[in-house]
Amino acid sequence: MSIAEFSQTFTVPAPAAKVFAHLAEPESYIGLSPLVVAVRDVRREAGQVSYVSVERFTLGPFKYDNLIKVTMTFPEPDRRIVSDVRSPGAVHLVATVDLVPAGDGTTVTETVHVTFPFLLRPLVVGQARKVARARAAELTRRMSAA
């Protein structure tokens, strides 16, 4: 198995508690992550939320729905969310989002650690980086509009 890790930091114009509340809801990821078109089977337990996220890949007229299992935990309420993502093809991604108050806004640092079969490296790492950048832009937009 191969491993990749990267992080990005950006600031959104909203308090950490508001950003945390948004990111702690599975439904918020529809459109926040550009491939996610639905979430289902949401289960809430003490300190965690588990669900199935539907990622849609399109190639011309063909569509493929990739069902991924996600478990979010909240080790530091209003400050940290850890998402453990299990995808078909032996892809395992852990995204840790840290929120730090910054004046009227919040500095968001997302660290992504992903393991995957070596042959999938270009696809997995490329998509993970692309999705992380898009998620940062969309979260910033959403927090600006709210």
User: Helix or strand or coil: residue 89?
Assistant: coil
This model's pTM is above 0.85: yes
63 located within any domain:
no
131 located within any domain:
yes
Q: Which domain covers residue 9, as residue numbers?
A: 2-34+71-145
CA distances from 111 to 39, 53, 67, 129 (A): 22, 20, 22, 11
pLDDT reading at 14 higher than 90 = yes
- 28 or 33, which is more confident: 28
CA geometry: angle at 126 spanning 121 and 130, to 5°?
155
61 located within any domain:
no
Domain count, the chain: 1
pLDDT for the residue numbered 146? 64
CATH number reported for the structural domain that contains residue 140 in this entry: 3.30.530.20
In this prediction, residue 27 has a pLDDT band, given cuts at 50, 70 and 90, of very high
CA distances from 63 to 35, 54, 66, 73, 134 (A): 12, 12, 10, 31, 21
Cα dihedral sign, 12-17-19-20: positive
123 located within any domain:
yes
108 located within any domain:
yes
Mean pLDDT calculated for residue range 15-23: 95
Query: Which range (2-16, 58-72, 89-103, 119-133) has the least confidence?
Result: 119-133
112 located within any domain:
yes
14 located within any domain:
yes
119 located within any domain:
yes
